[in-house]
Amino acid sequence: MQNPFKGGFKIDFYTNQSKIKWFILVVALIIGSGSIIYTDQLVDRLKEGEEEKIELWAKAIEFSGSVLADESSLTFITNNIITPSNTLPVILVDSASQEILLSRNVVDSLSSTSQREIQLETTLEKMKRENKPFTIMVRNANDGSISDIQYVYYRNSYILRQLRAYPFIQLSVIAIFAFIAYLAFSYSRTAEQNRVWVGMAKETAHQLGTPLSSLMAWMEYIRAMPEMKEKEEVIIELDKDIERLERITSRFSNIGSVPVLKNEPVYEVVNNCLNYLRPRLSSKVIMNVETDMHDLKAKINKPLFEWVIENIVKNGVDAMSGIGNINVTIGLESSNEVFVDISDDGKGIPKGKVKNVFKPGFTTKKRGWGLGLALAKRIIENYHQGKIFVKSSHADVGTTFRIVLIYKDI
């Protein structure tokens, strides 16, 4: 039956999906950097305002110490500029002795003298790192000559510092939340997919079961008919078809329930499967199994595992357009794992497509459903707790799929 999703659509779905992912990522980056840049501009403007305040404060101190200041302007400056408590932390330091002359909004009034000293020192260090100080020229009251130079060190207000960190905190919180939401959605999507797979398989097995048992009963009836004695070949062919139907039913019924895994000899299972497939495929396809370990056993559910081998071999045959070799190698992957490598000498999978081949619906074939490898992955990973992946694939050289199964010694 032809796939209803018409040619290119199936691949486009995955190309589009990755385009959508990129689009979301780019939009998220634009929003993120936009909000960082905007807050940065706000912070810069606030910072300018704060610096102007500090400069004014420094100038006021400079002026109040100069000869030009008369009594009334001094009072005005002290009351309106120097004393009013704004929240900016400031420390006035003598340039020569490096002694702290004055500080504002740095130490809290409740701490002890020694604590205050430590607070002052550490804050001064921070201030030195953060901003360049304003310089104050202290002039001699008599002749106006410079008698001392002092520095005004300052920090930006607490609010401004917080505002600078705000977009980063906000974006991190959003990113964490989005990640958790993504995990939750993908978990529920997987659970939903599982239910659909299992439900469909159960239903199919159930629907096939009834006509199959009826067919078997009819077979016994036909076998017993005297006129069928000369038509042995009809009985043989009918038997083969019934066996094929039984195979399909048992696959669906196994995938629709918790499968029973048994210690099966891997070589024998694979070899039997290839023997079953050989007459059904082109005679120009040569299939071989190689191993030094014929008795190696692994935990296998036979009907399901055979289904996997069949899907991979059929893909291999499709890739070589009917003529070529399929080689299966069996060996030990690790102390408790067996590998089964299935290689073909077909056209290979393009590099960019390798990550898609196990996704349901991905196909490059006109009459493909894109379900063969999705099913294989499901069977190996969910039902056998094993692994399946493309071990290698090169254009016009061929492809090797590796299946890793849990091995159990006899």
Which residues of the shown chain bind Mg ion in the complex (CB under 5 A)? Answer: 315, 372
Applying CB under 6 A, the span of 57-65, 92-100, 116-124, 345-353 interacting with ligand ATP comes to 345-353
327 forms bridges with which residues in the sheet? 288, 343
160/340 with CB nearer ligand ATP? 340
φ and ψ at residue 101, rounded to 5 degrees: -95, -35
Three-state DSSP class for residue 180 = helix
- Reported as half-sphere exposure (CB side, CA atoms, 13 A), residue 231 has a value of 12
Q: How far apart are CA 397 and CA 410, in angstroms?
A: 37
Indicate which single residue of 58, 61, 152, 319 sits in contact with ligand ATP (rule: CB under 6 A).
319
362 binds, among Mg ion, ligand ATP, none (CB under 5 to 8 A by kind): ligand ATP
58/357 with CB nearer ligand ATP? 357
Indicate which single residue of 120, 364, 391, 392 sits in contact with ligand ATP (rule: CB under 6 A).
364
CA-nearest of 337, 340, 372 to 357 is 372
| Minimal distance, residue 12 CB to Mg ion, in Å | 19
Q: How far apart are CA 312 and CA 343, in angstroms?
A: 9
Q: Does 311 bind ligand ATP (CB under 6 A)?
A: yes
Q: Does 354 bind ligand ATP (CB under 6 A)?
A: no
| Minimal distance, residue 311 CB to Mg ion, in Å | 5
CA-nearest of 300, 213, 304 to 257 is 304
371 binds, among Mg ion, ligand ATP, none (CB under 5 to 8 A by kind): ligand ATP
Q: How far apart are CA 294 and CA 96, in angstroms?
A: 90
The DSSP-derived string for 87-124 is S--EEEEETTT--EEEEESSS-TTS-HHHHHHHHHHHH
At 286, the amino acid letter reads: I
Q: Does 340 bind ligand ATP (CB under 6 A)?
A: no
Q: Does 363 bind ligand ATP (CB under 6 A)?
A: yes
Q: Does 343 bind ligand ATP (CB under 6 A)?
A: no
| Minimal distance, residue 365 CB to ligand ATP, in Å | 4
Distance of alpha carbon 241 from the chain centroid:
45
107/312 with CB nearer ligand ATP? 312
Binding to ligand ATP (CB under 6 A) within 218-277 occurs at none
Tokens, residue 3? 């796939």
- Using CB under 6 A, list all residues that contact ligand ATP: 311, 315-316, 319, 344, 346-349, 357, 362-365, 368-374, 399
